[in-house]
Amino acid sequence: MQCQLALFSTKRSEHPKRPKTFDSTSHRNKPVSQPLDFSLSISDHTAPVRDWNKKNLIGLSKQQLKEELETIAGTKSYTADQIWRFIYQRGVTSIDDMLNIPKGIKDDLKEKYTIDYGRVVSDLLSPTDGTRKLLVGFKDAKAMVESVFIPMVGPRGTQCISSQVGCSLACTFCHTGTQKLLRNLTPGEIIGQYMIPAKDYGDLPLAKTTQRRVNNIVFMGQGEPLYNWRNVKQAIEILTDKDGIAMPKSKITLSTSGVASGLPKLAELGGIGLAISLHATNDRLRDEIVPINKTFPLPVLLAACKDYAKAMEGCNRDSQRITFDFQEARALAELLMDIPSHVNLIPFNPWPGSKYVSSPRDHIIGFSRIVENMGIPTTIRWPRGLDIMGACGQLRTSHEQQQQQQQ
């Protein structure tokens, strides 16, 4: 179980610097340029011609796909499995490319269905650390979300995925919290945020991939995933299906601001990493910066975390351990003493209009040492993608913000 903790202050201080590790040659087909161009689009193979009146095959469960095919003449019991593998193993974006599907069936499919990851409205690459932020649009023009690829050591990296357009929780340190909730994302819109970079980086077709570039998925983008659980769950089931993408559950982490009532449902899914955005060790402060704490105060949330850890005892160690993102070192260590946990310390990442600035670098390191010395493993998550507003807590639909500024 992970605990996320943002370290910030209302007084001005120097933002901590992170050692540069980005090798610009590792970003496939994406040259670094200045200034960054909001009109830059991803490769054409992720942007097929769209007919919004057709149903998207991306995001349908296996059972839903089989039910849809019952209306198509000539399909066999195995046709759904063939189509599933074409979409999620081979990464086809055109029904015409499903080579062993009879032409008559493909013609009927094209009348009703499409394969659409979403449209890339902007594609920004940080020349500093290689973080890549995509603004992805969907059927309704206002429904756009940001999704971020964070490169790690070597060729691999993590895709940070959004689950809602906007957010209803209004956490005071989070830029997304300033954007009202528009709607939940569908399973297909969630999966599309993985498929776009996976296809562009060569992770698809799977048969030609020796090592995934998009190696981890974190639900830490816009929105509260446990408030869109039905669609998030279906997306995770598709992402982890052994006949498709086959992403290991241990490579997926869901972050929540503290929706305690949703943890039993996540536990039923099994094997998925859990991160809790804690941010304070007392209800008074947490009520102020994470308003959902008034609904699920710390005693309720921590009790739910203990139940979750117990339910995960049969799973791998990483899914049993909860990661907490946090402040207040000694109080934090004492609070988590009875929960198998790992603490992520996240320096505050500034955004326009915020009243906070990051804590000094030496304070963050000192905080980490105190927690470590009290027996709680700790990681400092130094900022990535600051120059493109792609760091933790900075995501907000850029197009929506620009429209507001023009009005």
SS3 annotation, the chain: CEEEEEEEECCCCCCCCCCCCCCHHHCCCCCCCCCCCCCCCCCHHHCCCCCCCCEECCCCCHHHHHHHHCCCCCCCCCHHHHHHHHHHCCCCCCHHHCCCCCHHHHHHHHHHEECCCCEEEEEEECCCCCCEEEEEECCCCCCEEEEEEEECCCCCEEEECCCEECCCCCCCCCHHHHCCCCEECCHHHHHHHHHHHHHHCCCCCHHHCCCCCEEEEEECCCCCHHHHHHHHHHHHHHHHCCCCCCCCHHHEEEEECCCHHHHHHHHHHCCCEEEEECCCCCHHHHHHHCHHHHCCCHHHHHHHHHHHHHHCCCCCHHHHCEEEECCCHHHHHHHCCCCCEEEEEEECCCCCCCCCEECCHHHHHHHHHHHHHCCCCEEECCCCCHHHCCCCCCCCCHHHHHHHHHC
Examine the residue annotation and report whether 372 is marked as an active-site residue of this protein.
no
Q: Please identify which of the residues 171, 174, 305, 392 carries the catalytic annotation.
A: 392
Q: How far is CA 118 from the centre of its chain?
A: 16
**Catalytic choice (146, 189, 328, 400):** 146
Q: Is 189 a catalytic residue?
A: no
- Residues labelled as active-site residues: 146, 392
